[in-house]
Amino acid sequence: MIHAFNFKDNYFVYDVESGSLHETDKMIFDILKNNDLSAYDANAVAEAKAEIASLKEQGLLDASAPEYTMEEKRLDVKAMCLHVCHDCNLRCGYCFAKEGTYSGPKEMLSLETAKKAMDFLIDNSAGRKILEVDFFGGEPLMNLDVLKQTVEYAKEQAAKKGKVFKFTTTTNGVLLNKETSDYLNKEMDNVVLSIDGRKEVNDAVRKTANGKGSFDYFIDNFKYFRSIRGDKSYFVRGTFTNKNLDFSQDVLFMNDLGFDQISIEPVVLPDDHSLAIKESDLPVVFEEYEKLAEAYLERRQDSEKWFSFFHFVLHLNDGPCYKKRLVGCGAGSEYIAVAPNGDIYPCHQFVGEKQFLLGNVHTVEKDGLNDEIRHKFAKSSIFTKPDCQNCWAKYHCSGGCNANAIHFNGDMDKPYKIACEMMRKRLECSMYIFAKENL
Amino acid sequence: MKHFKTIAKPELNKIAKNSGCGECRPSCQSACKTSCTVGNQVCEQKVLVRNTGK
C-alpha cells in the first residue's frame, strides 16, 4: 500500500509496509493517483514509470506486508496512571474527569493505597526493569504530601527489587510554587503543564471554582518551572476546542512565552457538546495544522524560537519496532490506572466505569485481576480493527485510542473517525517537515 | 533517480520478526492522554545503540 500526497507544491509518496518516504514530483503523483496524464510527454511518463518499477523492485514502494503472526500482548504491567486526587481546583469546560471526580466522590489517595499500588506495579512487572508512574488527577498537587511519600516509597522498593521508576506529574499549575517546582524538577522525569494557549482562549474554558479565568493563577509558576528545567523533559500541554480552531496561534503564543516542548490536543467530546470538534470542522482544522507546520519549520531555523511540537515529531528511521506499531498504548495490559480508592482500570479514561473495573490494589493479591477484560484489550490490534486494514497511517497510531473507540462507537475495534482524520493530516504535515529538515 | 529522492527507508517489514522488546514507554504516558501516537516515539534499542555503540 502506498500513500501519495502533496503539501502545497511539495509531492511525496509514503510506502506503508516498508515505512519509506520519498519526495517526488507532480507527474509521479498523477501517475500514482491514476490522474489524467495527457498533459505530459509520453516519453517522460515512460521514464517516470520505469523509476516507479525500480523502487518497487528494491522493496521501497508498494512493498509487501511482512509474514507476521500476532501474539497476544503479555499482561505484565509496566506503567501506571496513579490518581493522587479525585478533586480539582479548576472547572474546565471539557474535562472528561468531571471536575476531577470521575463521576464519583471527591477523594484523596492515601499513602497506604499508594504503597499498595507501587507494590502491585513492581509485583506484576515481571522482567521489565523500567516502571513508569504518572501522578494524575484531578489535580495531583492538591495531595502533594502523598505524592512525595509515594516517590520515596517507590524508590526504596525499586532499589530492593532491581527496578527503576520514571515519574511524571500532570498539573494545572495553580499550586505550583517555587518549592514544589524545585521538587518536581528534581524527582520527575517528565512534567506536563496544562495550559490552552492565549489568555482569552484559556480563560474561556479553564476556570477557577468561582468562575474566574485561571491563566493569571498559573502562568508565572509555569515560567519559573521552565526557567529551572533546562533540557529535561516537560510539556506545556493544551486542548483545543471548536472555540479556538485557530489553535496554531495558541501553540505559537506558548512558544513566545519561552516554552519549547509543546503539545496541543483536539478535544474529544460528543457532537452535542458546545465545545465539540465535529466532522464539519475538519477542513478548518486541517488548514490550521498546515499553517502550524509552516510556522514550525520557520521557527526551528531560529535557535531562540526553536520548539518541538508533540504531534509533529516523527521518527521515521529510528522509530518504534513493528510489534509496537500494532498494539499502541497497551491500556489494560501493560498500562493501567489506579483510582484513589485503589480500584484498577485499563486506563485513566475508564476510571469510574464499573464495567471496566479490573480489581483493587488492596485485594488483588487474594482476588487477582479481571483477566477477561485484560485479554480483550491485549488482543486488540490493527489486525482486529477493520477500518485500519486499508489505512496508510495505521503503523503510526496503531489503531488509535481504545477508550475513544469504546466511548464513541461502543467497540474498541471501531476507531473514533474524527481522531483518525486528524491523525492522517498531522502525519502528512510531519512527513513534510521531516522531508524539509532531512533533505 | 530523476523523479524520486528517498528521505527514509527503515525497512519496517524486514525487521518485523525481531521486534517487541517492550522497553519503550506506553504511547499515552508522555503528553497526549487522549490519542495514541506511536510514530513519534523512539525505539529504545536504537537509543541504546546510539548511546553505547553496542
Tell me the per-residue pLDDT of A266-313, one tens digit each, with 9 for 90 and over.
Answer: 999 999 999 999 999 999 999 999 999 999 999 999 999 999 999 999
Counting Cβ atoms within 10 Å, is residue A389 exposed (0-12), middle (13-18) or buried (19+)?
Answer: exposed
* Residues of A whose CB is below 8 A from B33: 170, 265, 348
Q: What is the ipTM score, two decimals?
A: 0.90
Residue A24 distance to chain B (closest CA, Å): 5
Q: What is the pLDDT of residue A124?
A: 95
> Does the beta-carbon distance from B5 to A22 stay under 8 Å?
yes
The Cα–Cα gap between A334 and A347 comes to 10
Of B10, B26, B45, Cβ closest to residue A335: B26
Residue B30 distance to chain A (closest CA, Å): 7
Q: What is the pLDDT of residue B22?
A: 78
Of B12, B25, B41, Cβ closest to residue A19: B12
User: Which residue from B minimizes the CA distance to A55?
Assistant: B4
A321 and B CB contact within 8 Å: yes
By residue count, chain A amounts to 439
- A43: phi then psi, degrees, rounded to nearest 5: -65, -40
How open is the CA angle A365-A371-A373, to the nearest 5 degrees?
A: 130
Beta pairing partners, A343: A360
Q: What is the pLDDT of residue B21?
A: 81
The Cα–Cα gap between A347 and A373 comes to 12
**Residue numbers in chain A where pLDDT is lower than 50:** none
A194 and B CB contact within 8 Å: no
Give how far the C-alpha of residue A103 lies from the chain's centroid of Cα atoms, to the nearest Å. Answer: 24
Residue B34 distance to chain A (closest CA, Å): 7
The Cα–Cα gap between A222 and A220 comes to 5
- In sequence order, what E strands does A137-293 have? 164-171, 190-194, 206-208, 234-240, 261-266
Does the pLDDT at position B36 exceed 80?
no
Does the pLDDT at position B30 exceed 70?
no
Residue A94 distance to chain B (closest CA, Å): 12
- Reported as type and span, the H/E element at residue A396 is helix A394-397
- A5: phi then psi, degrees, rounded to nearest 5: -150, 165
Residue B9 distance to chain A (closest CA, Å): 4
Does the pLDDT at position B16 exceed 90?
no
> Does the beta-carbon distance from A322 to B12 stay under 8 Å?
yes
User: Which residue from B minimizes the CA distance to A427?
Assistant: B39
- A11: phi then psi, degrees, rounded to nearest 5: -115, 140
* Residues of B whose CB is below 8 A from A397: 35-39
Compute the count of residue pairs across chains A and B with CB atoms less than 8 Å apart: 224
Q: What is the pLDDT of residue B29?
A: 61
A170 and B CB contact within 8 Å: yes
Mean pLDDT of chain B: 79
Of B4, B7, B41, Cβ closest to residue A55: B4
Q: What is the pLDDT of residue B51?
A: 75
Q: What is the pLDDT of residue B44?
A: 79
